Structure 1
């Protein structure tokens, strides 16, 4: 077997959305902060993302992360998040999965009934409570960084007309629109092509007319995804949504989150909270495009720069699907992956 590199990967899914956890095989990542480490991976190790996320090994809905040394001494692990579209400063469904993997594999010592896991991420320190019963993880609740409403206004989205758009932040910046305001009657896989096409129009207009700049982290300076929200189908759910993750650079691909999206759910409840539409310590059930759910609540108030914010907690479950060795054959003309987009 002729290989120049081997990556050791654990695979999971959280509410239907996959995560590939790269636990070994990556060269040392330089940086004094996790933001710097993410930038180092972008500049020098993007082949790791392309190999694991893109075809022929991956697909446009794939998500992943690299385990690395934390910069914060309080943390159990440092995490660089990415997907087929590019890099993320935080990823909620992957955080649930990472917390599950760290505890079930023994990297973090398991303690029943609750094990605490601390992750150093580009968005900040994330603390997760991992609920354990009979030696297995049942669910994870993570406390995200403060979430807030950045801006809300009516903008011209060309063929879609004038539409009210919110830009909400929950570890990632989202342009949020109501499905019916852009002519989508149902958030469903059967309407996926229409959803993606209209999400691109929303993204272009929101990026041009509103944009995003985090008030405390200069490197978080763009809208990353579009969240389309509507009425739920599942009894007991408060909202249904789909998140379309936009490509970071030319050659990357558009991705659609199958889960209710952890950072998107955080952004949603943070925005509702600061607008007075959701009370503190009130559960909010967020339904995904495939009918899976996360439960969220705001557990405290905060401020980010001049923005009032809420501190969200998100609960969900992740499941192991595979343990894989990824080989890279230097003779392979497609060794670093490709995209059909």
Structure 2
């Protein structure tokens, strides 16, 4: 009893002395090993008519929230966070803004899978079995989702991605320290430079992670400088910002399969097979005649976790031929967190150090 009484007194003292400036409720979620947490409380709304407007507002006027949650000491370079918001779009059940370690992105497949899982498993949106259909507004556009549900669990999530297309095939770029490479550039919700992993001697295995990051960031910087890319329907979406190392494509009885590794700035590997990366790769494969509409594609990550992709529609984006892919993956809730800011905390928006938050040379 004495020990218990002492703990209660200490806790009471701490509570009376702590003066909080901010409290944010977050559901911890991962898909394929990639941590994509979901903010479920503590932020009422953000100015803007669309999710893209809200994203730009946060980026230019409200970036303290991203820094507070994703920079150290509360956050990590290896995680993302999604802010769930009301949507004014008549077809959307909710909206979400995707915050990565260094920037905001118009779309992310792994973050979509994690956000839907959190919304359904916490009851923020009603779950129906065996399937729940949800429409979310991402900054990049509407995303229609079907979640397979059983016994209160979101078993898997299939989302119909925004239109995806190829900017260029067999693009020559000169990379410092490597030389001339031939790459592909495509949009899958983010703009990717895709490079043949085998041609650079990579098998995309865990022991190669550090080297993949170093080479991938070098390739991305060179490609972004030498091949300007601007979305034909939204010029505010521009510039190559991800490198995808593509493994060999194998044909099995169940369909096509391959490995991949996506490098996320400021310099780390996506732990999942990457939804937008899978979408960009499907756009390239379709442009090369390597996959047909309705054919199944299994994409594996460096951790051997899996997403399934399929082309459901061919279409045109700003005069460019493109596809609409659907991506399927599963997510798991890892915890429930209350992040707080004490009024006396000297590091209210956290910090970055170059030992982990690598900067270009």
Q: Which range, TM-score by smaller chain?
A: over 0.9
Shift of 1:274: 2.4
> TM (normalized to structure 1)?
0.94
User: Is structure 2 residue 307 aligned with structure 1 residue 308?
Assistant: no
Deviations 1:209-235 (A, max 9, x none): 1121000012101212111111489x8
Match of 2:292 among 279, 284, 305: 279
CA offsets 1:244-280 (integer angstroms, 9 cap, x no match): 123xxxxxx3342100001111111122112211111
Q: Can you give the 5+ residue segments of structure 1 that lack an aligned partner in the other structure? A: 247-252
Q: 2:198, 2:248 within 8 Å by CA — same for their partners in 1? A: no
Q: Give ranges in structure 2 of 5+ residues lacking alignment.
A: 1-17, 355-361
Structure 2 contact 135–144 (Cα < 8 Å) conserved: yes
2:178 maps to which of 146, 155, 160 = 160
Deviates more, 1:95-104 or 1:279-288: 95-104
Q: What is the aligned counterpart of 1:33 among 42, 50, 55?
A: 50
**2:258 paired with 1:258:** no
What residue number does 1:241 align with? Answer: 260
**Partner residue of 1:169?**
187
Between Structure 1 and Structure 2, how many residues are aligned?
Answer: 334
Q: What pairs up with 1:80-119 in 2 under 5 angstroms?
A: 80-119=97-136
**Who is 2:159 aligned against?**
142
Asked if the contact 1:176–1:226 (Cα under 8 Å) also holds between the matched residues in 2, the reply is yes
* Cross-structure match for 2:347: 334
Q: 1:262-305: per-residue Cα shift (whole Å, max 9, x none)? A: 11111111221122111111110000011101000001111111
Runs (4+) of structure 1 moved beyond 4 Å? Answer: none
TM-score by length of 2: 0.89
CA distance in 1, matches of 2:182, 2:146: 36
Match of 1:67 in 2: 84
Q: Is the 8 A contact 1:20 1:52 kept in 2?
A: no
Deviation at 1:27, TM superposition (A): 5.0
Q: Secondary structure at the match of 1:95?
A: helix
In 2, are the aligned partners of 1:11 and 1:321 still within 8 Å (CA)? yes
Distance 1:135 1:28, change over 3 A: closer
Q: Deviations over 1:83-117 (max 9, x none)?
A: 11211111101101111122222222211111111
- The structure number with the bigger radius of gyration is 2
Task: Say whether the 8 Å CA contact 1:91–1:262 is kept in structure 2.
Answer: yes
1:206 match: secondary structure: helix
Q: Which residue of 2 aligns with 1:20?
A: 37
- Partners of 1:185 and 1:44 lie apart in 2 by 41
Deviations 1:194-219 (A, max 9, x none): 11111121111111111210000121
Q: Which moved more, 1:22-31 or 1:112-121?
A: 22-31
RMSD between aligned alpha carbons?
A: 1.7
